[in-house]
Chains A and B, each alone.
Chain A
Amino acid sequence: MPKFMFVVPPFFGHISPTLSVGASLISRGHQVVWVGIKELGAEHIPAGGKFIVPHEELAEHQADIQRILKMQDEGPKLSGVETLKLALEETYLPFCRYIMKGLSRVADEFQPDVIISDCITFAGAICAYNKGIPCVTTTPVPPDVTGDTMQSPKIFEWQKNLILGLQREFGVYTDDYVIHSRDMNIVFTSKEFAASKDTSEHMQYVGPVKGRPNNTPFDWDRLAAVTTPKVFVSLGTLLVDIRKDFFQKLIEAFADQPLTIVAATDPAIFDKWPDNFIVQGYVPQSTLMPHMDAVICHGGFNTVNDAFLNGLPMLITPIAYDHFHTASLIENAGCGVKLRYKRLRVSDLKTAMWDVLENEKYRIAARHIQDTFIKAGGNEKATELLETFAQKTYEQTTTLS
């Protein structure tokens, strides 16, 4: 039976789909390990799997790792170009350098047949290249996230020099990018939604994979008594600093409107919430979604995927990072309205919300994306692709030796 080794960054949105796929591989009898630079809560790790952090080799970099993780909070204050610099030069590259030594040892000990490296953990793909281990990339967000920025020749040059320079540091002297697999790249969205120009055969769009069950209690009776349109609001798990400002605006816009807001955020940020706001720190998001009429979110792909899987139109208020790209895709696909979080007017919020709720075209477009997501095959398709890939490369190596 082939052995699979996932290499993941310390960002839960990137880890989450690999946990679903990994759990399926384990249930089908494969050995699966994850390697990362930061421990993951034991409750997230699928039974039978192992999450390895090579602490010994990482010890000397611990202060830097903490500093870089802290820097990610600055996201909402940064411009697009600064975000690009923070991401590639100040986060992905150093993380790759820090983990390489420990990763290489783990790979030698575990002897994986396939390394599955997340799209921003370059170490996994470089390690696979150097050891001659077949490699698959996982991409949790629609690709081409840098969009038009790379059209600028000097910025393209900057990216190329950084990546080729990194590869050379680890003895890879080709001018091709080996940080992403050219054999298989599993993307957790649909090809249609990603609107990607990359039509290469190795790009496999499998749609979102189902999250893990969430049994958080919820006041279902209160929800059942609601007679106005229901709008789910989530800012995801990050972006703690701006929560109060964001919800203050929502209160100003919707406290007197005939709709009901169901929000996932710590209720303690305000002494009192309007009567039409149902607020809870953690919510059973995927169980709640089918009861909703629309979603307000910042464009984080966990909530976006949940909304699409229920065919719900969206009001998106992008704040930082890849949110702008995702928000544009949603708007271009006709599934909602995008309002930039910065310079968000309460009057615009109101107008956009009623447009999204009352104009049927958004719901129809969202249901269409829902169809493409379901047809993409999800977790089952990803598992099948990985098994076939492992089998094929396994046969190739045995024929050669």
Chain B
Amino acid sequence: MDTVTKRKLNSEEIFAALKVFITEVIGEEFVEDMDITRESSFTKDLEMDSIEIVSFSEKVKAHFGENIDFTGWLSGMDLDQLINLKLDDIIKHIETCQ
């Protein structure tokens, strides 16, 4: 039997997966009016509240693995880091955790 090594996802694939999670969390009808890019800020552009962030974080964990502690990572940030957090920062974080 082949040893299956779980392939690391590249940045584009992570971005695509995150977009799906955001749509699931926020709701399709609300995502329609949004332009989700790597530069989208988490709180300002996507306007996620704490409940949405928790549900997003659970999806990230379920998909990318338990070792991605998204809420733990957030709680280590200072105010300005949280305010300026972009989707791209999350993609990079997942890349390093994989």
* B-contacting 9-mer, from A74-82, A126-134, A383-391: A74-82
Q: 10 tightest CB-CB pairs across the interface, nearest first?
A: A79-B43, A154-B78, A81-B82, A152-B75, A343-B30, A81-B83, A158-B79, A82-B83, A81-B79, A342-B47
- A-contact bits for B74-91, CB 8 A (1 contact / 0 none): 111111001100000000
A75 to chain B, nearest CB (A): 13
Q: How many residues of B contact A (CB 8 A)?
A: 17
In the assembled complex, how far is the CB of residue A309 from the closest CB belonging to chain B, in whole angstroms?
A: 29
Q: Would A340 and B49 be within 8 Å (CB), given that A81-B79, A151-B75, A155-B78 are in contact?
A: yes
Partner of B79, one of A155, A342, A343, A345: A155
Q: Do the beta carbons of A79 and B47 come within 8 Å of each other?
A: yes
Bound-state CA distance A44–B1 (Å) is 82
Q: Give min CB distance, B57 to chain A, whole Å.
A: 14
In the assembled complex, B50 has its CB within 8 A of some CB on chain A = yes
A contact residues, total (Cβ < 8 Å): 19
Max chain B C-beta neighbours (<10 A), residue from A81, A84, A152: A81
CB closest chain-A residue, reference B81: A154
Measured CA separation A85–B83 after assembly (Å) = 10
Q: Which of B26, B43, B74 has the most CB of A within 10 A?
A: B43
Query: Residue A241 at the B interface, CB < 8 A?
Result: no
B44 lies within 8 A of chain A by Cβ: yes
Q: Could you list which residues of chain B lie within 8 angstroms of chain A, going by C-beta atoms?
A: 26-27, 29-30, 43-44, 47, 49-50, 74-79, 82-83
Q: CA of A80 to CA of B50 in the docked complex: distance in angstroms?
A: 9
User: Which residues of A lie under 8 Å from residue B78 when comparing CB positions?
Assistant: 154-155, 157-158
B residues less than 8 Å from A343 (CB atoms): 26-27, 30, 47
Contact call B50/A153, Cβ cutoff below 8 A: no
Chain B residues in 8 Å Cβ range of A324? 49
A81→B50 CA distance, assembly (Å): 11
Cβ contacts under 8 Å, A340 to chain B: 49
- Closest A residue by C-beta to B75: A152
Whether A80 contacts B79 by the Cβ 8 Å rule is no
Say which residue of B26, B27, B44, B77 sits within 8 Å of A82 (CB atoms): B44
A395 at the interface (CB under 8 A from B): no
B49 touches A154 (CB 8 A): no
Closest-by-CB residue of A relative to B45 is A79
A152 touches B77 (CB 8 A): yes
